[in-house]
Chains A and B, each alone.
Chain A
Amino acid sequence: DSGVTQTPKHLITATGQRVTLRCSPRSGDLSVYWYQQSLDQGLQFLIHYYNGEERAKGNILERFSAQQFPDLHSELNLSSLELGDSALYFCASSETRAFFGQGTRLTVV
């Protein structure tokens, strides 16, 4: 158990819809990193938050956004969903040794 909690584990939704994925980092970790894993692209960095502030952006689409709340949990919002957004979404916490959650499998139909 990494100590990073992600909910929900599975999500099935229709194209055009909006979903929210949630992540709670390990106790004491101030950072949350979001990653997307698809079969063709592999694991790709989306965005990094540290203590409530956005620190870095990777290959994140404009339709996607994230925030980190005062209790340090983070939410990744995906809107206007397309079939190609179907993927595993992971969050990770800590810096020098990233601990990953178990992921949310998003299926867009």
Chain B
Amino acid sequence: EDQVTQSPEALRLQEGESSSLNCSYTVSGLRGLFWYRQDPGKGPEFLFTLYSAGEEKEKERLKATLTKKESFLHITAPKPEDSATYLCATVSQDSGYALNFGKGTSLLVTP
């Protein structure tokens, strides 16, 4: 059974304090690994798709990387507006494009 596990469940950072969120996955034939950001009461907002081990993508203070077993979302010098829940999801070769989500990491960045 495909599984996605995110850690930590919650993370509190000072503004400017860089850190990484982890997403471990087991999937039979990875089609893609997705990162989303979700603000309270809102729909998930797309951040990145990674397709193969070794791939990296960057957007502003965020950088996502992928290995054969896990993905990391690195946050460099975070700001309070980066506070949100970050969700990781996989899509397998035999699931169409249905996303299998982890439970997320709730990030709080304090001034």
- Nearest-Cβ distance from residue A33 to partner chain B, whole angstroms: 6
| A102 interface hit (Cβ, 8 Å) | yes
A11-48 interface with B by 8 A CB criterion: 31, 33, 35, 42-45, 48
Instruction: List the A side residues contacting B36 at CB < 8 Å.
Output: 100
| A56 interface hit (Cβ, 8 Å) | yes
With A42-B103, A42-B104: A100-B43 Cβ-Cβ less than 8 Å: yes
Nearest CB to that of B43 among chain A residues?
A: A100
Nearest CB to that of A40 among chain B residues?
A: B103
Tally of A-B Cβ pairs under 8 angstroms: 58
Instruction: List the A side residues contacting B34 at CB < 8 Å.
Output: 98
What is the size, in residues, of chain B's interface with A at 8 Å between Cβ atoms? 22
Nearest CB to that of A103 among chain B residues?
A: B43
Chain A residues touching B, range? 20 to 34
Quick one: CB contact mask for B13-49 with A, threshold 8 Å, 1 for yes?
0000000000000000000101010000111111001
Bound complex: CA of A96 vs CA of B46, how far in Å? 11
| A97 interface hit (Cβ, 8 Å) | yes
Instruction: List the A side residues contacting B101 at CB < 8 Å.
Output: 42-44
User: Are B45 and A100 in contact, with the CB atoms below 8 A?
Assistant: yes
Nearest CB to that of B44 among chain A residues?
A: A100
B73-103 interface with A by 8 A CB criterion: 87, 89, 95-103
User: Are A56 and B98 in contact, with the CB atoms below 8 A?
Assistant: yes
| A99 interface hit (Cβ, 8 Å) | yes
Nearest CB to that of A44 among chain B residues?
A: B101
